[in-house]
Amino acid sequence: MLELKNVSKKVGTDYHIRDVSMTLEKGSLNVLLGPTLSGKTTLMRLMAGLDKPTDGDIRVAGKSVVGVPVQKRNVAMVYQQFINYPAMTVYENIASPMRIAGKDAAEIDRRVRHAADMMKLGDYLDRTPLNLSGGQQQRTALARALVKDAELVLLDEPLANLDYKLREELRIELPRVFAETGAIFVYATTEPHEALLLGGSTATLSEGRVTQFGQTISVHNRPVDLKTAQTFSDPPLNLLEMTKTEKGFSFDGQTVAVEGELAQLPDGTFMVGVRPHHMALAPEADGSMVVDATVATSEITGSESFIHAEKNGSRWVALTHGVHRVNTGDPIKLFLDPHSFFVFGHDGKLVAAPSDPEGA
């Protein structure tokens, strides 16, 4: 078990990590989700022992490891920028941690070939890294980390440099691999959909703080505050300031009736978040709110279309299936189902979320 207790890391006058407390259980998969410079890499370096916290304590199996060098910890780490031994073959790169640990030749061979097959490197074991593509070099680094039998495996955006097809295959395969090892895995990513694919638990980070930590699907479906909801939304969360009265939620002169948790809220003004896939171009439910806007731009990615719209200085994005050709400046109607509303108070805390987890 790895415990972080009120851990902070200060560089000069700036906090890179501030007051982080987390407990990571043996055999668990833990995702660090946040934008660039949110503190993910700094937090992993603290976990590994590459850096010391300015404040707080880090414990492994109940014992403080602050000040214990990384060489004396059973840790493996893979960075976005792959690191391999250039003079060694792929086989020897993967085998190197087991040779250092004194494993016998038969076990080394079995585990190297198993890891190589999993990473689709079986045909490249006799090559040196300089004769590999960037993606193959990153897979070599991943395979070396997986065979090390480390108690803690830290993966810092390890799939970012791989081609799309292999990246998607590994995102599906890695949770099974993680489950088999019994190690604590920590996986950093900027991509919300990657966190959802991996599952496990997710910690959302913003400006060096962990805003929420829990089961990935729970954090996604019920973020505790606006910052967490924004971290877990790509494309960005659409925000609309609405007024709640006894008749329902009102925006731009239109009122829609609400029920359940939304109906119980006191009258007043709230910030409402709508995920892009819930901002539709056609009504998907009775009682939808209709917002008249203007097309700012559009992107077609093949199976999906991103429609960027604006109204009175506010910008929103709708994510829809299929090809939708619209032109900049065109008028457009956006349909909002109140069942998909995330509602936040003036302090940014969540006060209501979609009642249907499948629809969140």
Distance CA 352, CA 118 (A): 43
Length of the chain, please?
360
* HSE of 324, CA atoms in CB hemisphere, 13 A: 21
DSSP state, residue 237: P
**Closest to 219 in 3D by CA, of 236, 206, 208, 233:** 233
Which residues, 6+ apart, have CB-to-CB distance to 89 below 8 Å? 125, 126, 127, 128
Query: 348 phi and psi, to 5 degrees?
Result: 85, -5
pLDDT given at position 72: 85
Q: Output the six-digit token pair for 51.
A: 């850096």
Strand partners for 310:
294, 315
Could you tell me if 181 and 251 lie in one domain? no
pTM higher than 0.85 for the full model?
Answer: yes
| Number of helices (H), then strands (E), in the chain | 8, 21
Which residues, 6+ apart, have CB-to-CB distance to 194 below 8 Å? 31, 159, 171
- Number of domains into which the chain is organized: 2
**Can you give 217-247 as a three-state secondary structure string?**
HHHHHCCCEHHHHHHCCCCCCEEEEEEEECC
In a domain, 167, yes or no: yes
pLDDT given at position 358: 57
In a domain, 151, yes or no: yes
* HSE of 325, CA atoms in CB hemisphere, 13 A: 0
**Closest to 9 in 3D by CA, of 41, 52, 48:** 52
In a domain, 230, yes or no: no
Could you tell me if 256 and 200 lie in one domain? no
CATH number at residue 208: 3.40.50.300
In a domain, 193, yes or no: yes
In a domain, 228, yes or no: no
In a domain, 229, yes or no: no
Whole domain around residue 285: which residue ranges?
235-359
Of 195, 223, 251, the last residue of a domain is 223
Could you tell me if 175 and 291 lie in one domain? no
Could you tell me if 174 and 246 lie in one domain? no
pLDDT tens, residue order, the chain (360 aa): 999 999 999 999 899 999 999 999 998 999 999 999 999 999 999 999 999 999 999 999 899 999 898 888 889 888 877 778 899 999 999 999 899 888 999 999 999 998 898 888 999 999 998 898 877 888 898 889 888 878 899 999 888 777 777 788 777 777 877 777 788 999 999 999 999 989 999 999 999 999 999 999 999 999 999 999 999 998 999 999 999 999 999 999 899 999 889 999 999 999 999 999 999 888 877 788 999 999 999 888 878 889 999 998 899 999 988 887 888 999 999 999 999 999 999 999 999 998 765 556
